[in-house]
Each structure stands twice: as C-alpha cells, then as structure tokens.
Amino acid sequence: MEIQEVPVSAGQSKANPHAAWFTQQRFGMFVHFGINSIPAGVWKGVPMGRNWYAEWIQMQGNWPKGIPAAEYQALTKQFNPVKFDADAWVREAKNAGMGSICITSKHHDGFALWPSKVSAYNVMNTPFKRDILGELSNACAKHGMKFACYYSHWLDWEHPGGGLPHPDEFKSEPRHPKRTQEQFEKYWQEKCLPQVRELIENYHPAFLWFDTWAANSSEWITEARMDELIGLIRRLDPTCLINSRLGTWGHSKGYAAVDFISMMDNHFPEKGFDQPWETSGTMNRSWACHQLDHEWHTAKEILTFLIKNASRGGNYQLNVGPLPTGELPVQAIRRLREIGAWWLVNGEAVRGTEASDLQAQKWGFVTKKKGGGMYYLHVLEPRAGAEIVVRGLRGVKQARVLETGQALDVLAGNEHAAITLPAELRENNIAVVAVEV
C-alpha cells in the first residue's frame, strides 16, 4: 500500500473515528519477544535482580551493575528462533477470542525485530535473518486480525542518546551518566522518528503502543516531541491509533491528545473512562520469557480481568512471552485454549459490549450489548439452583443461560430482579446469563 502523506488540517477532530474496532474487540494479545528472550531472566547462571521483568535483563542481569552493552548486544550472534511460526501465534490468539496482536517491535534494549534501515541493531544482523514484523503482519492480515506495534520511544539502551533508566529506580550507584537534551534530541531525530516512519510505511500497524510510566519521562518526552511524533503518525496514517503511555500526563491536552488510554501494567481500574481504554497484563510475572517464572494466572483469573474491564467499557491486552526458539510457552497455549473454549460459547458477552450501567455485584460482573437491549450476567462462582439477585435490573423480558439457551425463572422486584440458575447446572468456570430487557 503506497502511503500518501496527508496534511494535518488545522482543528482536525481530536477523537479518532478509526477507534471503533478497538473498543468492539475488547481482547488482544501482547507479545514481548527479542534478544532478551534468549537469557530468559538468567545471566551466567544467576537470576536477574530487582524484579521479574526479563526484558530488562541488560540492566538487571549481573545485578546491580547490569550487563555491559557490548556483552549484552553479542546476544545478536545467538538469536535464531527457528521455530517461530507467525501463523501459529495468530491462530492461537484468534481461537482465544482476540482481535489484535501487538508485538515489541523495539523494546528498551533498542533491538529491532524488522530490517530497519535506520539502525543495524536488528534482526537481519543475526543468524535468523527474517523479518519478524513482516511475517506476523502478513499472518494477521490472512486471519483478519489487527497487527500493532509496541515501540519504546523513551528508553533506548543502544543509541548513545537514548533514554536510560532513572538511577533512583535502581537504588544503586547512579551507573548512567544523565543524557543531555542535545543527546536525546539526536536519538529522537536519528532513530526514534525514522523508525516509527518505517513501522507505519512498511507494516501499517492498527495502533502504536508507546511506553513511558515514570513522571521523570516528561523531561525527555516533552509536549513538543509528543506533537512532533503524533503529527508524523497522523500524516502517514490517520487510522493508526496512539496510546496514552506516549506520556500524555506531560501534555496540555492530556488523554485527548491520543486515541486510547493505557493503564499501568496489570492495573484494572474500578471505573472506566469516556475514551477507549485498555489494561495490558502479564500471564505470569514477566513480560518477556523468564525461565524461572512459574506464577501463571489461571484461565479463569484471566477471564475475570477481561470481563471486569469490559463491564467498565475497557479492553484487556494479555501478554505472552515466546521462548527463545520462537514457540509460545505450552503454559500460555494451555491458558489461551481454555479461554478459547469459554469464548466459543460466551464470546458475545464480551466482544461488542459497552460499559454497563449495572455495576459489579456480589456474584460477578455485568456487561451490556452495545446499543442496549441485552445484559450479560457473568457469575464467577455459579451454583446449581442458586438465585442471582441483580441490583438495578428492571424490565426483564426473558433470561436464559447463554451457552444452552435454557430459559430461567425471573422474579421482578422494584429495584432488582432475581434469576434462578438451572438445578442441573454443572459449570467449573464463569457462567453467563443473557437477560433481554
């Protein structure tokens, strides 16, 4: 597709009309993959320090000094995920009910998963020599999935002017000389902006997921730089959505400067927003593959996160950290397929729903079909014959078990409705009752 740069007209509407699919899908896959997947949290036999984020091993291996850049970057000589199969990844995501896949095109270490002409620190200069972004974006197109890219625009540990972690974060000697604004501007113009252009022109991502979180990032990700980056994206592809972790807390327009709000990691807010929003979360404790991280969420816990956000009008982007071979971990595949089994019979109770005016109840959450007319009661611990009291529910026409269609008895009260689950119900996951109003 030939990208035509379009002039950004003055007063262009703040809300991006192209975000409708994003809220409609509710559920996406996040992928953290790169040369950091090779050590998988352990460096020369010693587990990394500070936290479980295996993609941070360059800074947290050999703790607290970190791994010298040249030694870390030598990992490029080993990067050869020969079992990488983009089609297999996409099929697992689609079967689980996901509508998009967002991959770390370049994480903080600065390594690019595509044949970047901007920086030689990329996948073509490894034994693998394949365009991972190209293969994944093609597989997404083949299966009708949206393709998206995470891009670390602030931290970049390869470029001499790229952002570095704040010494305070590491409670150790300030190992990193503070970058000057001139140094960072050089990185910004030489690497960040040109690589974002490459991503849009070559892979047409449905959204770009930028990553800042600490307040001190605003010293570098200034409003001027955010507007420069937003302007570039809008000119190249107005349909490409931008998230708030671009650093909008440092922008005079706040969230209105971008297209959707990204929560902090694994944060599920008690109420939603009047703009598209999402939580990205890990399946265990690490984003990239960590060989010692065995604390995997159950499929039911993951579904509860998804449903909680959907009931408040939000999305959930669930992360997988592929193995150094390029395969998805079997623990992740198991959970994706368990989620997919639930989604097969209950997906309509999440996809295409909007924030519900019936908020969380003792027994679970309520989602609402976009445009109204139908509520979905997500009963987290369903018991045969139990009575489900729904505060605030009035005008019930009929209630049925979504999976089986079984009609249910409904007792209408002034300020609630009581619905009785089938006596023969056997459910070891979340049961969904569809209520027509």
- Applying CB under 6 A, which residues contact ligand JFZ? 53, 55-56, 211, 213, 264-265, 280, 287
| Region label for 18, one of left (φ > 0), alpha (ψ between -120 and 50) or beta (otherwise) | alpha
| Region label for 34, one of left (φ > 0), alpha (ψ between -120 and 50) or beta (otherwise) | left
Q: How far is the CB of 209 from ligand JFZ (least distance, A)?
A: 8
Q: How far is the CB of 38 from ligand JFZ (least distance, A)?
A: 16
Which lies closer to ligand JFZ via its Cβ, residue 27 or residue 376?
27
Query: 32: which residues sit within 8 A by CB, 6+ positions away?
Result: 55, 104, 107, 150, 287, 288, 289, 319, 320, 321
Q: How far is the CB of 436 from ligand JFZ (least distance, A)?
A: 39
One-letter amino acid identity for 62? N
Which lies closer to ligand JFZ via its Cβ, residue 260 or residue 287?
287
The string of DSSP letters for 136-169 reads HHHHHHHTT-EEEEEE-SSB-SSSTTSB---HHH
One-letter amino acid identity for 175? R
Q: How far is the CB of 409 from ligand JFZ (least distance, A)?
A: 46
Tokens representing 163 are: 């952002």
Q: How far is the CB of 79 from ligand JFZ (least distance, A)?
A: 18
Which lies closer to ligand JFZ via its Cβ, residue 113 or residue 419?
113
Which lies closer to ligand JFZ via its Cβ, residue 56 or residue 114?
56
CA distance 247 to 229: 12
In which order are the strands placed within the sheet that holds 364-369?
353-354, 364-369, 374-379, 431-436, 398-401
Which lies closer to ligand JFZ via its Cβ, residue 105 or residue 346?
105
Which lies closer to ligand JFZ via its Cβ, residue 48 or residue 417?
48
Q: How far is the CB of 180 from ligand JFZ (least distance, A)?
A: 23
Which lies closer to ligand JFZ via its Cβ, residue 264 or residue 412?
264
Q: How far is the CB of 351 from ligand JFZ (least distance, A)?
A: 24
Which lies closer to ligand JFZ via its Cβ, residue 111 or residue 375?
111
Q: How far is the CB of 156 from ligand JFZ (least distance, A)?
A: 12
| Biggest CA-to-CA distance, the chain | 70
Tokens representing 65 are: 């000094």
Which of 87, 49, 322 lies closest to 165 in space, CA to CA?
49
CA distance 299 to 9: 46
What separation in angstroms does the CA of 186 have from each of 71, 183, 221? 24, 5, 13
Q: How far is the CB of 41 from ligand JFZ (least distance, A)?
A: 12
Which lies closer to ligand JFZ via its Cβ, residue 121 or residue 287?
287
Q: Taking a C-beta distance cutoff of 8 angstroms, is the pair 154, 247 a contact?
A: yes
